[in-house]
């Protein structure tokens, strides 16, 4: 199983760019890296997914280097409402999804 | 698309009682997942259905837990003889097979179980 490691928590201020890095040293060739966001008392919400290089959507960017042993979620100009837990997932072949403890991002005014 | 719904949202029960939770996935999604989440931890995978077939079960799913998806639409998760350690948020997610090797899972709001 692809195990991921990410910081337990991060603090930021409104308007700043936030980068959360995730390590996944044993990622399999066919695995994709997926990031989810979770607010208190809600289910996780899909943010972005990628295989390699860079992926960008209206919410975030995902950078995956050539060796794919890590990835970085980039949130541009965060606001207070971006305070949440962010999960990096390394999925095995098939459909089991392994969540780690996630990174708790706290955005301050 | 009304999203994944779960009922009830909250359940308080006494130790030893049986409880049942329901999940209604997004209508065109044929894959359905159950997770359990305790405070400060990420969701833990419990089981997965493709249509009505239960294809994978975690060792976390003890004999007291059973999940069904009889017609390939909604699913139920039953916990028999509840224990205080069963207190958690139970999350349901659904997905549709995509082009990649992983599915984008859409989560419901969860059912919070408290066992007294």
Torsion B54-A98-A101-B25 (CA) sign: negative
Say what the pLDDT of residue B2 is.
Answer: 72
| Model confidence at B101: pLDDT above 70 | no
**B83 CB near a chain A CB, below 8 Å?**
no
Q: Angle at Cα A33 formed by Cα A84 and Cα B44, nearest 5°?
A: 60
| Model confidence at B110: pLDDT above 60 | yes
Say what the pLDDT of residue A104 is.
Answer: 97
Say what the pLDDT of residue A30 is.
Answer: 78
Whether A49 and B104 lie within 8 Å, measured CB to CB? yes
**A57 CB near a chain B CB, below 8 Å?**
no
Place of tokens 């065109």: B28
Structure tokens at B114: 């408290």
| Model confidence at A91: pLDDT above 90 | no
Q: What is the mean pLDDT of residues B83-105?
A: 84
- Name the pLDDT band for A35 (thresholds 50, 70, 90): very high
């Amino acid at each position: 199983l692809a195990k991921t490691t990410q910081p337990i928590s991060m603090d930021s201020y409104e308007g700043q760019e936030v980068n959360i890095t995730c390590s996944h040293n044993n990622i399999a060739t066919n695995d994709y890296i997926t990031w989810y966001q979770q607010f208190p008392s809600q289910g996780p919400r899909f943010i972005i997914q990628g295989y390699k290089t860079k992926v960008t959507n209206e919410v975030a960017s995902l950078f995956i280097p050539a060796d794919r042993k890590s990835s970085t979620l980039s949130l541009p100009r965060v606001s207070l409402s971006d305070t949440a837990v962010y999960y990096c997932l390394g999925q095995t072949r098939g459909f089991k999804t392994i969540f780690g403890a996630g990174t708790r991002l706290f955005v301050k005014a | 698309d009304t999203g994944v719904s779960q009922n009830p949202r909250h359940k308080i029960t006494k130790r030893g009682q049986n409880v049942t939770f329901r999940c209604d996935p997004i209508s065109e999604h044929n894959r359905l997942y159950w997770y359990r989440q305790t405070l400060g931890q990420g969701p833990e995978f419990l089981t997965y259905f493709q249509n009505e077939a239960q294809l994978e079960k975690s060792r976390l799913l003890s004999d007291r837990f059973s999940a069904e998806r009889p017609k390939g639409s909604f699913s139920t998760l039953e916990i028999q003889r509840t224990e205080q350690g069963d207190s958690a948020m139970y999350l349901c997610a659904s997905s549709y097979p995509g082009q990649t090797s992983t599915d984008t899972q859409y989560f419901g709001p969860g059912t919070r179980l408290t066992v007294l």
